[in-house]
Amino acid sequence: MKWYEAISKIDRRIIYLFLTIFVILPFFVPFKLRQNIMPQTQQLFDFVESIPPHDKVVMISFDYTPQTMPECHPMAIALLKHCFARNIPVLGLSFDIQAPGLAVEALTTVVEELNHKASTHDDSLFYGKDYVYLGWKSGFTAAVLDMGESIAGVFPRDYFGHPVDSLPLMQKTRNYKDVAIAIVLSASAYPEYWVLYPQSRYGVKIGAGLTAVMAPKYYPFLQTGQFSGMMSGMKGAAEYEHLIVEKGYAEKLGRAETGMNSQSIVHLLIIIIIILGNIGFFFTRKDQKQS
Amino acid sequence: MSHDPWIWIGALLTLMIFSFLYKDNPFYKFAEHLFVGVANGYYIVFYWQNALMPNLFEPLGAGNLVYLVPLLLGLMYFARFIPKIGWLVRIPIGFMIGWGAGISIPAHFQAFVLRQLQGTIITPQSFSNPIEGVWAVIILIGVICTLVYFYFSKEHKGILKPVSRLGILFIMIGFGASFGYTVMARVSLLIGRIQFLLGPWLGLIE
């Protein structure tokens, strides 16, 4: 076998082995790659920065699944830290059937961490006052449209079974007029439906945290201003982590930032493999033409 | 190393699924079938507890008889299993299509057609920042050329030929960006699993 045939027929298991090694290596040989912040992440961060404290809520729709946790969960954590650090109340909800457990975990993790650091009663976060998780609802379209009239009408009870009207935060959050922005963390088409229904009818500002696969489809929504910002994939999450650390809202970077080191190395490997494959293909075709 | 049995179950199932990368084997098959079974069980119980019970059976139990209408419409879907009354299925389907079309057609036009068209319109304001202005022109050219490429009522000859060629170029750049993002997404999933194996399971990283 000629050299160019060999490089275009590398056993896929060898490629998997190299991929695994290249993913693991950065966890044990730490290095720092400069993180440039993409404009859409900065835009979302700036929007949250512009919301006055103790005023309107940030609605976070947790619609990701366990499969896409590495991308969307760090986004949720970073976003929650940002909101709580600025005393912006958070209203969580879900429409994806697999999401409620992950939403509760994200909220619990952040609230426990911040309450552990809190020195006074006022610094602490309280369920019902600073944040509420409404839980899951079936019938997405009807639900998001009805929330424009009354959130409590769609979610009479929260995830934990409390009557929604009894929670202090919900007494001042009646409908979308009391929502500064709805940020959809999703691994499926929910963000475009948020644009389609609540934004078209009620003018709700929409932000998004998407898996990288979905990101190219959603860039046009940024350009038209239908999205007020967007985090795309693990990189978007890492950028948001970077921004909240830079502003002093968090002490250390999260999981996405450490994962991005592996991501960068693996991208180099994939670029090399693509170049090798193309060289092999080019020479093989040239050989075939000559013979 | 973790002492939590759930972490061990998660880690072993992850390794079983990864074993497929070498070749198909009984461990992979076991994990795959277990996943399908657990996922189905989860969905059935979740929908029963969180959709059917609160939205249908509890109001019915409380004597709210108007809920008989959605119950009846829902049951009509099963009519297709009985050939004699199979035509009944058209009633709920017609209801859903009517409701769905009515609610989504105006919204689609507003959000996906008119707003996207607005985004391609160049105004003097587009050039308030020169770089943004250049991008606005590129977007306009990209939209026109791509639309021309998909215009099949006239043969792509004369002026249409270079314009549609340029359209292909924009489409290819789009495909390239999608591929790059897809690679990033898939690698992210692998990183997530490796973080789980090295962290909560083996305790080698924080």
pLDDT tens-digit series, residues A164-190: 999 999 999 999 999 999 999 999 999
Q: What percent of chain A has pLDDT above 70?
A: 100
Among the partner residues B107, B115, B205, nearest to A197 by beta-carbon distance: B107
| Per-residue model confidence as pLDDT tens digits over A82-120 | 999 999 999 999 999 999 999 999 999 999 999 998 888
Helix axes A69-85, A255-290, angle to 10 degrees: 150
Quick one: A274 and A160 in the same domain?
A: no
| CA gap A2, A283 in Å, rounded | 10
| CA gap B37, A134 in Å, rounded | 28
Decide: A244 and A82 in contact? Cβ < 8 Å.
Answer: yes
Residue A99, token pair as written in the block: 């999401």
Environment class of A261 (CB within 10 Å of its CB; exposed 0-12, middle 13-18, buried 19+) = buried
Contacts of B108 in chain A (CB under 8 A): 196
Q: Which of A6-10, A62-66, A212-216, B116-120 has the lowest mean pLDDT?
A: A6-10
- What is the CATH classification number for the domain harbouring A87? 3.40.50
Residue type, A221: F
Among the partner residues A138, A220, A233, nearest to B181 by beta-carbon distance: A233
| CA gap A100, A105 in Å, rounded | 9
Does the interface predicted TM-score (ipTM) exceed 0.85?
yes
Q: Are strands A179-186 and A57-63 parallel, antiparallel or unpaired?
A: parallel
Quick one: A132 and A238 in the same domain?
A: yes
| Per-residue model confidence as pLDDT tens digits over B28-79 | 999 999 999 999 999 999 999 999 998 899 999 999 999 999 999 999 999 9
Residue in A closest to B117 by C-alpha: A224
Going by C-alpha positions, the residue among B122, B145, B144 that lies closest to residue B135 is B122
Sole residue written with tokens 């699944």: A65
Quick one: A278 and A249 in the same domain?
A: no
Q: Does A269 touch chain B (CB under 8 A)?
A: no
| CA gap A282, A103 in Å, rounded | 49
Domain boundaries, chain B: 121-206
Decide: A240 and A41 in contact? Cβ < 8 Å.
Answer: yes
Give the gap in angstroms from C-alpha A121 to the nearest C-alpha of chain B.
Answer: 30
Decide: A189 and A166 in contact? Cβ < 8 Å.
Answer: no
Q: Which of A7-16, A77-86, B6-15, B71-80 has the lowest mean pLDDT?
A: A7-16
| CA gap A29, B123 in Å, rounded | 51
Decide: B11 and B197 in contact? Cβ < 8 Å.
Answer: yes
Quick one: A2 and A144 in the same domain?
A: no
Quick one: A3 and A93 in the same domain?
A: no
What pLDDT is attached to residue A251?
86
What pLDDT is attached to residue B139?
92
Contacts of A70 in chain B (CB under 8 A): 188-189, 191-193, 195
Residue B7, token pair as written in the block: 């972490």
Quick one: A246 and A267 in the same domain?
A: no
Contacts of B40 in chain A (CB under 8 A): none
Residue type, A135: G
| Per-residue model confidence as pLDDT tens digits over B131-165 | 889 989 999 999 999 999 998 888 888 899 999 99
Total domain count for chain A? Answer: 2
pLDDT at B179 over 80: yes
Reported as a pLDDT band with limits 50, 70 and 90, residue A6 is confident
In this structure, the number of other CB atoms found within 10 A of the CB of residue B129 comes to 11
Quick one: A146 and A284 in the same domain?
A: no
Q: Does A291 touch chain B (CB under 8 A)?
A: no
A7-13 mean pLDDT: 87
Residue in B closest to A135 by C-alpha: B50
Reported as a pLDDT band with limits 50, 70 and 90, residue A159 is very high
Tell me which residues of chain A, numbers 43 to 102, contact chain B at a CB-CB cutoff of 8 Å. 67-71, 97-98
What pLDDT is attached to residue A243?
95
Task: Show contacts of B161-169: CB within 8 Å, 24+ apart.
Answer: B166/B141, B169/B145
Beta partners for A93?
A: A61
| CA gap B167, B31 in Å, rounded | 45
pLDDT at B167 over 90: yes
- Residue A263's SS3 state is helix
Coarse DSSP helix, strand, coil percentages of chain A, rounded to the nearest 5 percent: 55, 15, 30
Size of chain A in residues: 291
| CA gap A230, A103 in Å, rounded | 19
Residues of chain B whose beta carbon is less than 8 angstroms from a beta carbon of chain A are 21-22, 42-43, 46-47, 50-51, 55, 103-104, 106-108, 110-112, 115-116, 118-119, 139, 174, 177-178, 181-185, 187-195, 198, 204-205
Residue in B closest to A21 by C-alpha: B194
Q: Which of B23, B35, B121, B184 to mutate to test the interface with A (most CBs of A within 10 A)?
A: B184
- Pairs of residues, one from chain A and one from chain B, whose beta carbons lie less than 8 Å apart: 118
- Helix ranges (DSSP H) in chain B: 5-18, 26-47, 58-61, 68-76, 90-108, 115-120, 130-149, 160-196
Structural domain of A137: 35-253
What pLDDT is attached to residue A252?
83
Q: Are the Cβ atoms of B190 and A68 closer than 8 angstroms?
A: no
Quick one: A81 and A116 in the same domain?
A: yes
Quick one: A240 and A264 in the same domain?
A: no
Q: Does A266 touch chain B (CB under 8 A)?
A: yes
Give the gap in angstroms from C-alpha A249 to the nearest C-alpha of chain B.
Answer: 21
Quick one: A8 and A72 in the same domain?
A: no
Quick one: A79 and A26 in the same domain?
A: no
Give the gap in angstroms from C-alpha B133 to the nearest C-alpha of chain A.
Answer: 12
Tell me which residues of chain A, numbers 21 to 40, contact chain B at a CB-CB cutoff of 8 Å. 23-24, 27-28
Q: Please give the residue that has the higher pLDDT: either B123 or A133.
A: A133
Quick one: A235 and A266 in the same domain?
A: no
Give the gap in angstroms from C-alpha A116 to the nearest C-alpha of chain B.
Answer: 19
pLDDT at A24 over 90: yes
Contacts of A20 in chain B (CB under 8 A): 190, 194
Among the partner residues A27, A197, A212, nearest to B184 by beta-carbon distance: A212
Q: Does A145 touch chain B (CB under 8 A)?
A: yes
Angle, CA B121 vertex, CA B128 and CA B104 arms, to 5°: 130
Residue in A closest to B46 by C-alpha: A97
Q: Are the Cβ atoms of B118 and A224 closer than 8 angstroms?
A: yes
